[in-house]
Amino acid sequence: MSEGIAAKPNSKKQQEDKAKINRRMSRIRHKVIVLSGKGGVGKSTVAVNLAVSLAQSGRSVGLLDVDIHGPSIPIMLGLDGVSLSSNGKTFEPISIGNLKAMSIGFLIQNEDEALIWRGPMKMGVIKQLLGDVEWGELDYLIIDNPPGTGDEPLSICQLIENPDGAIIVTTPQRVAAIDVRKALTFCRELKLPILGIVENMSGFSCPKCGEVVEIFPSGGGRKIAVDFNVPFLGSLPIDPAIGIACDAGTPFVQHYEQTETAGKFKDIIAPILALSEREATAGQQTKEGRINENSHTYSQ
């Protein structure tokens, strides 16, 4: 299995595609992949609000939706029906302030259309989304994948060199937790760093009093994090305002910024922001090392 995963481009066209993607991705400082073991856990909701939270912190952010069969990012950002600009060779992502978004949903004319595609066709589209989109200089690219460990997340991991890591979304129930373990194993098979686990729908947040009531048994995400020795990034309750915001195309953390749940999203982005801080620290240490080397040379 590992040999198949690590397979290198074996044709000139594949090598050209890979080189083009590398050029695009080299202008993006950090690439973060959002995964889930199964559907219905709110993965896209988490991805959108994490991306918007990063943009609110002053970072330049890209949000890439590679859920070919169920793209929901355009609706969640209020961009459904928006058309892309293209010069025939490349596409411009849709910009909202310092957030740029790209999804196959922007290319579908009829929202009822079903894309009945096999793996090779999906791989070709993902190559285009990575290599033919004018992302420009970005601090972060958040990549929202479909649930599971199939073609799309595998293609992303094969095509992007050295992604910074994955955030895995689960719900508290055991049936979701079992599939999350498979997602964690997937990451380790591909040597993809795990930034942490988010437990979504962890209790119900009453819209009147704010009290959180546990509907499902909680703690499944934290237990998995302990079992696999990976960070637990936090729990998000079921908040009716999140569903309202998603349907209205108004990102929750932007329009309900003062709520406790929005604050939890901002806590969850801490390890993502830490990527930049570590990069800055490493750069400063390198710079200081060069200064010390030069000083040593001059003293001689």
The distance of Cα 175 from the centroid of its chain, to the nearest Å, equals 23
Indicate the helix (H) or strand (E) that contains 13: helix 12-25
Residue 37 is labelled as binding a ligand: yes
Residue 198 is labelled as binding a ligand: no
| Cα angle, residue 220 at apex, residues 216 and 223 outer, rounded to 5° | 155
CA distance 297 to 112: 69
Residue 89 is labelled as binding a ligand: no
Residue 165 is labelled as binding a ligand: no
Task: Confirm if 76 and 275 have CB atoms less than 8 A apart.
Answer: no
Residue 95 is labelled as binding a ligand: no
At 286, the amino acid letter reads T
At 3, the amino acid letter reads E
CA distance 105 to 153: 18
Residue 66 is labelled as binding a ligand: no
| Cα angle, residue 214 at apex, residues 213 and 217 outer, rounded to 5° | 175
Q: Enumerate the known binding-site residues for ATP.
A: 37-44
Instruction: Show binding-site residues.
Output: 37-44
